[in-house]
């Protein structure tokens, strides 16, 4: 009788254990659409985890992608291949949205960043995008396994301009930046300190934001891209004389610091226009992307070399 009782008890225990384990657990999410309120304005962003994120608990690099004027977080995510690069290499991608003109009530719903002297609604209303990005970095780092010493920012056009401002004001949080077709339009404050490695891409035939400066899209006057690069060459303690290599469709310039580390790079393409080299054409009527280089691959190769002390 005792043996029968023990057998029945064991069977019940096995049944309970099997029932407690869900044979079809819900899949872990890899993409989050988030919202945060900054200075009374609801700001949005997308977090994309790499496909191997849940395979370990190790901290991952964070790459922030900033769209251009008229773009969006989802547009950057779709057009420039960072999700595929994240899956292949293991970083977490973060795509914030610029502030929406007229808080969404305007006829033209255009998102922009307050990068300094550009652009549009965000600049005219003095939107604190530095605070927004800084706060989002903290929020994402607190929720996900992020290596805080390896936070990077890449941006297109107005987003590229914003990367320069973030580097200037948040050098303690940003390990390196990449700008595509976006010169530095923030104040070049010589009193500021903090080294931030930079890679810049531009087409010599870009008429919307001319590489050599001048009047571009919307009648806006832009500074020469080399002005911002030279500011950072000095701030990063680099030899002011660049090493320049010429190729069929582009030229590649590099600057080295006192430790002979290559911390500044410039890819100047002879083809394309105001577009992401190697990326998708943003829309009908937009400039064709350069085919001389693949910006996404080169950006990750550059960013991945740097870490905050």
Domain locations in the chain? Answer: 31-303
Residue 126 zone, left/alpha/beta (φ > 0; ψ -120 to 50; rest): left
pLDDT of residue 156: 98
Which is nearest to 151 in space by CA: 175, 169, 168? 175
Residue 102 zone, left/alpha/beta (φ > 0; ψ -120 to 50; rest): left
Q: 201: which strand partners?
A: 180, 267
pLDDT of residue 285: 81
Contact 203, 293 (CB under 8 A): no
Question: For residue 109, what are its two tokens?
Answer: 């719903």
pLDDT of residue 259: 87
Which is nearest to 198 in space by CA: 55, 299, 76? 299
Which residue carries 């200037």 as its tokens? Answer: 168
> Alpha carbon 240 to chain centroid distance?
27
31-303 falls under which CATH superfamily?
Alpha/Beta hydrolase fold, catalytic domain (3.40.50.1820)
The pTM of this model reads: 0.90
pLDDT of residue 284: 81
Using CA atoms, how far apart are residues 222 and 214, in angstroms rounded to an integer? 5
- Pairing state between β 198-203 and 262-269: parallel
Per-residue pLDDT of the chain (309 residues; tens, 9 = 90+): 444 434 334 443 333 333 344 444 445 789 999 999 999 999 999 999 999 999 999 999 999 999 999 999 999 999 999 999 999 999 999 999 999 876 545 445 799 999 999 999 999 999 999 999 999 999 999 999 999 999 999 999 999 999 999 999 999 999 999 999 999 999 999 999 999 999 999 999 999 999 999 999 999 999 999 999 999 999 999 999 999 999 999 999 999 998 888 999 999 999 999 999 999 887 888 899 999 999 999 999 999 999 999
Q: Cis bond leading into 218, ω under 30°?
A: no
User: Mapping DSSP to helix (H, G, I), strand (E, B) and coil, where does residue 19 land?
Assistant: helix
**CA count, 13 A, side-chain hemisphere, 30:** 14
């Amino acid at each position: 009788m005792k043996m029968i009782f023990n057998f029945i008890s064991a069977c019940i225990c096995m049944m309970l254990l099997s029932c407690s384990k869900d044979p079809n657990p819900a899949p872990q999410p890899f993409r989050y659409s988030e919202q945060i309120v900054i200075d009374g304005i609801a700001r949005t962003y997308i977090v994309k985890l790499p496909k191997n994120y849940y395979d370990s608990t190790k901290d991952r690099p964070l790459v922030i992608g900033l769209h251009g004027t008229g773009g969006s977080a989802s547009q950057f995510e779709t057009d420039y291949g960072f999700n595929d690069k994240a899956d292949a290499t293991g970083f977490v991608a973060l795509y914030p949205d610029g502030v929406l003109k007229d808080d969404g009530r305007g006829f033209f719903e255009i998102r922009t960043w307050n990068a300094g002297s550009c652009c549009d609604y965000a600049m005219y209303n003095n939107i604190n995008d530095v605070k927004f990005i800084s706060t989002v970095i903290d929020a994402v780092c607190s929720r996900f396994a992020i290596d805080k010493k390896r936070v990077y920012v890449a941006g297109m056009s107005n987003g590229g301009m914003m990367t320069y401002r973030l580097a200037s004001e948040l050098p303690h949080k940003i390990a390196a930046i990449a700008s595509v077709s976006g010169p530095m339009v923030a104040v070049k404050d010589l009193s500021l300190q903090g080294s931030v490695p930079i890679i810049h891409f531009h087409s010599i035939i870009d008429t919307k934001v001319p590489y050599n400066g001048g009047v571009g899209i919307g009648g806006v006057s832009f500074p020469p891209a080399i002005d911002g690069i030279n500011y950072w060459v000095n701030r990063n303690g680099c030899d002011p004389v660049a090493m320049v290599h010429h190729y069929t469709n582009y030229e590649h310039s590099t600057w080295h610091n006192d430790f002979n580390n290559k911390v500044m790079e410039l890819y100047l393409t002879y083809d394309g226009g105001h577009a992401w080299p190697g990326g998708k054409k943003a829309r009908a009527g937009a400039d064709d992307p350069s085919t001389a280089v693949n910006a996404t691959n080169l950006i990750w190769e550059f960013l991945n070399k740097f870490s905050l002390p």
